[in-house]
Amino acid sequence: MNPPLFLMLCECICTLISSFLSCLSCFSFCENGNGRVHLFVSQACLKQLSTVTKVQFQNIQVIENPTPDSNIIKQVEAQIPTLHYPKPETFSRGECTQNPVTFFAILSMQRSGSGWFETLLNSHINISSNGEIFFPMDRRKNISTIILTLERVYNLDWFNSASKNECSAAVGFKWMLNQGLMEHHKEIVEYFNHRGVAVVFLFRRHLLRRMVSLLANSYDRYAKLLNGTHKSHVHSQEEAAALSRYKPIINSTSLISDLKEVEMDAVKTIKYFNSTRHMVLYYEDLITNNTKLEDVQEFLGLPKMELTSRQVKIHKGPLSDFVKNWDDVVKTLNGTEYVSFLEADY
């Protein structure tokens, strides 16, 4: 007997003895040798006294399965966040135990908008971004203390004002490049890949503006211009105006090399962490393009919400208003690849 016909007969016999089902369809396939397959569909309806069998023939072209492209597979996998189900030691997640969590880290430099970006993220009901956890030296004195700190954060055993704990759907922090990240990048990349940590690079295109912000912030650490209090970020136009009155002097002699160094640090960081699941953001794009925040939420696998922040930009307006030796800066940058920094960017 033809094997496919025999198989079809056996399947239909099985249908008859399954009397608890009202109706069951049986399928079998037979190749005719020329690259086409006949599909047999047998249907036994047990509500009737006699079995009615309907056989239909469909021609299905046999197509050879394509060889999977490893690069395409990697690209698809890179778009899918790794989900985790943390079991914190310090509290119970309760009804949110079955809610998955995405791990992330924001890799950035000081005065690149990371503080503002974090307040935006933390306005999302399901995101907990825990700030500069590696600012204290004792947490980054060696790779062991770094890993222990990371484990506390991703196990949801880290508590601060940003913690949403039980029902967090994404948990992370911001990590400045000069806080042990570059010194231990190999071990950290290995940890990120092993734990499925999503990396968000946040840099600033306008490096001269970043330099002005950095110098002004360093000055205020000691001057404490706001009623004897140092503030890196402000929430009112009055506070912003008070801080922006200080005009730093930029070292024009080392300006070009300083800008190149910062530029190369960003390039080096992306190269080191290129094997991780990551996205690259620029501060300027976050300001001018609202869809970038939607991209971030999608990257983290979160429902999209409108993100808000109370922070107010300090140095708003042309840079010439905020640099004491602006003429020297203009002379230094004219005719160089950084001449565009002399123009207003937003």
| Count, residues in the chain | 346
**62 against 341, higher pLDDT:** 341
Helix, strand, or coil here: 334?
coil
Which residues lie closer than 8 Å to 298 by C-beta, 6 or more apart?
A: 304
134-152 residue pLDDT tens: 999 999 999 999 999 999 9
Helix, strand, or coil here: 241?
helix
Query: What are 331's two structure tokens?
Result: 């002379």
Where does the pLDDT of residue 26 fall: very low under 50, low under 70, confident under 90, or very high at 90 and above? Answer: very low
Q: Angle of helix 255-272 relative to helix 207-223, nearest 10 degrees?
A: 100
Average pLDDT (268-291) is: 96
Helix (H) or strand (E) holding 154: helix 143-154
Distance, in Å, from the CA atom of 132 to the CA atom of 88, rounded to the nearest integer, reads 21
Domains of the chain, CATH where assigned? 3-61 (no CATH), 75-342 (3.40.50)
As a whole number, the mean pLDDT across the chain is 81
How many Å is the Cα radius of gyration of the chain? Answer: 30
Phi, psi of 282 (to 5 degrees): -125, 140
Distance, in Å, from the CA atom of 107 to the CA atom of 130, rounded to the nearest integer, reads 13
Average pLDDT (319-334) is: 97
Helix, strand, or coil here: 214?
helix
Average pLDDT (303-308) is: 95
Edge-to-edge strand list for the sheet holding 278-282: 127-129, 170-176, 102-108, 198-203, 278-282
139-185 residue pLDDT tens: 999 999 999 999 999 988 877 666 665 578 899 999 999 999 999 99
238-257 residue pLDDT tens: 999 999 999 999 999 999 99
**22 against 98, higher pLDDT:** 98
Residue 6 reports pLDDT greater than 60:
no
Q: pTM score > 0.85 for this model?
A: no
Helix (H) or strand (E) holding 30: strand 23-31
